[in-house]
Amino acid sequence: MSNRELVVLSVGGVRFVTRASTLQQFPESRLARMLNDDDREFKLVNGEFFVDRDGTLFSYIMDFLRTLQVSLPADFSDYERLQREAEFYGLYPLADLLSQEHLLKPRLEILEVRFSLQEMQAFFRIFGSCSTTVETLAEQITVFTGQQSGQSWNSPFPSQKPLVPLPLERPSHHDMAFQCGTDYSAGDQFVARYVSIKPDNRKLINGTNVLGLLLDTLLKGGFRLISTKTVSSEEKVECYIFERMKRRAGLTVTVNQTPGSSGVAQAKRSQMQKGK
């Protein structure tokens, strides 16, 4: 059986087709020994290996063997059952990873948007529990500034003058601040600030429009609005609270082969996410 290229397994009534080399990722596992007829638990019926185990959980086993990564859906909760399945198949590196649920379970992210409208200017401050999310959002937001005369106030952009991008204020890794609108400068000149939020290409000067685009961007990014409140009625500060379940960084397994051994498996965190 060891020279068979394709292998068919029926696990709890669910049929899987894979390569023999995939099942041999961990040579000392029961799945690898199965190909050499060294394990009586696996019955060969009509050219298919029959295994009386959970077929749904085995799909995660197969995904692990194919990618050497643990990839579970956000609503997954059967960590102990999947760990038992991994132990049954002799995939102890996977079982060890599953025993560390805190590394795999998704975490709740909180994002707070504060919005203040004062005459012709609007002020924004965003706080986030995940620094990586705040960093990603900061890369999407650009503030442009330029001068325009009072006579051209109704025009969409300052006439004959290019807009200059401004850096966002970053008090810490977990928050940022910016503003839009116009401010009196000198004579009949105004300093105008426009905000652009990718992937939208518009440059908006009206604070209410910027707020609407920002909230829409967060909702499309998987956040859910859970509360809206007025922090200060005198200063007209509104607060929008969002939450999102975000899976932690993926875990991968690398196998270091040494002469005369079947390989030593080591777990490491992938670099998909850096924030805490």
Q: What is the pLDDT of residues 254-263, one digit of tens each?
A: 554 443 344 4
- Quote the pLDDT of residue 152: 47
Taking a C-beta distance cutoff of 8 angstroms, is the pair 213, 204 a contact? yes
Tokens 């020279």 -> residue: 3
- Quote the pLDDT of residue 234: 72
The structure's pTM equals: 0.59
Structural domain span for residue 145 = 108-151+159-246
Q: Which of 114, 87, 113 is nearest to 31 (CA)?
A: 87
Average pLDDT of the chain is 82
Q: What percent of the chain has pLDDT over 90?
A: 50
Within this chain, do residues 199 and 123 fall inside the same structural domain, yes or no? yes
For residue 274, is it within any domain? no
Within this chain, do residues 114 and 236 fall inside the same structural domain, yes or no? yes
Q: Which of 217, 228, 156, 243 is nearest to 192 (CA)?
A: 156
Within this chain, do residues 238 and 135 fall inside the same structural domain, yes or no? yes
- Quote the pLDDT of residue 219: 95
- What residues contact residue 185 under an 8 Å CB cut-off, 6+ apart? 147, 191
Within this chain, do residues 187 and 95 fall inside the same structural domain, yes or no? no
- Which of these ranges, 58-72, 82-96, 166-180, 224-238, has the smallest mean pLDDT? 224-238
- Quote the pLDDT of residue 17: 95
pLDDT grade for 97, boundaries at 50, 70 and 90: confident
- What residues contact residue 270 under an 8 Å CB cut-off, 6+ apart? 69, 249, 250, 251, 252
- In terms of pLDDT, which residue wins out, 231 or 182? 182
pLDDT tens per residue across span 177-191: 999 998 866 556 778
In degrees, rounded to 5, the angle at the alpha carbon of residue 16 between the alpha carbons of residues 42 and 266 is 80
In the predicted structure, residue 136 carries a pLDDT above the cut 70 = yes
Taking a C-beta distance cutoff of 8 angstroms, is the pair 115, 127 a contact? no
Within this chain, do residues 56 and 144 fall inside the same structural domain, yes or no? no
Task: Return the CATH number at 76.
Answer: 3.30.710.10
In degrees, rounded to 5, the angle at the alpha carbon of residue 49 between the alpha carbons of residues 89 and 52 is 60
- Quote the pLDDT of residue 188: 64
Domain boundary among 103, 118, 137: 103
- In terms of pLDDT, which residue wins out, 33 or 251? 33
d(CA 245, CA 202): 29
Sign (positive/negative) of CA torsion 213, 132, 98, 254?
A: positive
- The tally of domains found in the chain comes to 2
For residue 142, is it within any domain? yes
- Quote the pLDDT of residue 98: 85
Q: What percent of the chain has pLDDT over 70?
A: 77
d(CA 205, CA 122): 9
Taking residues 201-227, report their average pLDDT.
94
Within this chain, do residues 242 and 112 fall inside the same structural domain, yes or no? yes
Taking a C-beta distance cutoff of 8 angstroms, is the pair 195, 203 a contact? yes
d(CA 225, CA 244): 9
Within this chain, do residues 114 and 47 fall inside the same structural domain, yes or no? no
Paired strand residues for 126: 113, 176
Within this chain, do residues 45 and 127 fall inside the same structural domain, yes or no? no
Rounded to the nearest 5°, which phi and psi values hold at 208?
-65, -40
